[in-house]
A and B are shown apart, each in its own frame.
With several copies, the nearest count.
Chain A
């Protein structure tokens, strides 16, 4: 299990390759990468991500362990950045490895749903010079009910 909460960029491709290599009992690897997305009007200049040092790592570790046990994952990786990011920059990634594809997909989706609403991160967007906190979406909370 590899977990990192960091300000620095990460290399999605290199991490994906390292994660997928050297397994002979793993048939399926799934990765997810979250990217700072501008809206249609193109006004987003910066996304600032705040977190709760200490609790963040603890919460991610707990969710990753739950995902590992529940979906029989051979391996789990979670990287999440904080600080000031530009549109197009990678915010975070997860990766899961399992004997079968369904577990790898379900494990990654479970992790993403929990990271969205249960890991202590908060996003603030600077749009046309105006800062605004991103509201939690009711559908993100609803997504948890399926697990």
Chain B
């Protein structure tokens, strides 16, 4: 069981900020595919992976990173701080 958290327009498109999720996916990319299959709102949020950034347990990672041992996976658009 992992925690999925969403920010900015990813959160708005998925319609919630946080959920628990049971998965057999091995990588971030697999996990996103699994979510896109599940419901239309995920397919919309993840339609262009170039605009999606991912953090595992609060560290930025790339799409092919393993989610084994991950407690929290976060999805969000490119950051616009400063």
Show the binding face of A for B, using Cβ within 8 Å: 34, 50-52, 54-55, 58-59, 80, 91-92, 101, 112, 115-124, 133-136, 141
5 additional contacts (CB under 8 A) given A92-B81, A116-B79: A55-B55, A116-B82, A121-B80, A121-B82, A122-B79
* Contact A80-B81, Cβ < 8 Å, known A52-B55, A120-B76, A122-B76: yes
Residues in B whose Cβ lies below 8 Å from that of A50:
7-8
Number of interface residues of B (CB under 8 A): 16
Nearest A residue to B81, CB-CB: A121
Q: Could you list 17 examples of A-B contacts with CB < 8 Å?
A: A54-B58, A55-B58, A59-B58, A59-B60, A91-B82, A92-B81, A92-B82, A112-B82, A116-B79, A117-B78, A118-B79, A119-B79, A121-B81, A123-B80, A135-B78, A135-B80, A136-B78
Show the binding face of B for A, using Cβ within 8 Å: 5, 7-9, 55, 58-60, 74, 76-82
Nearest A residue to B11, CB-CB: A50
- Whether the pair B7, A52 counts as a contact (CB closer than 8 A) is yes
Instruction: Give the Cβ gap from A67 to chain B, nearest Cβ, in Å.
Output: 14
- Whether the pair B8, A34 counts as a contact (CB closer than 8 A) is no
Complex-state Cα separation, A112 to B5, whole angstroms? 26
Residues in A whose Cβ lies below 8 Å from that of B59:
55, 58
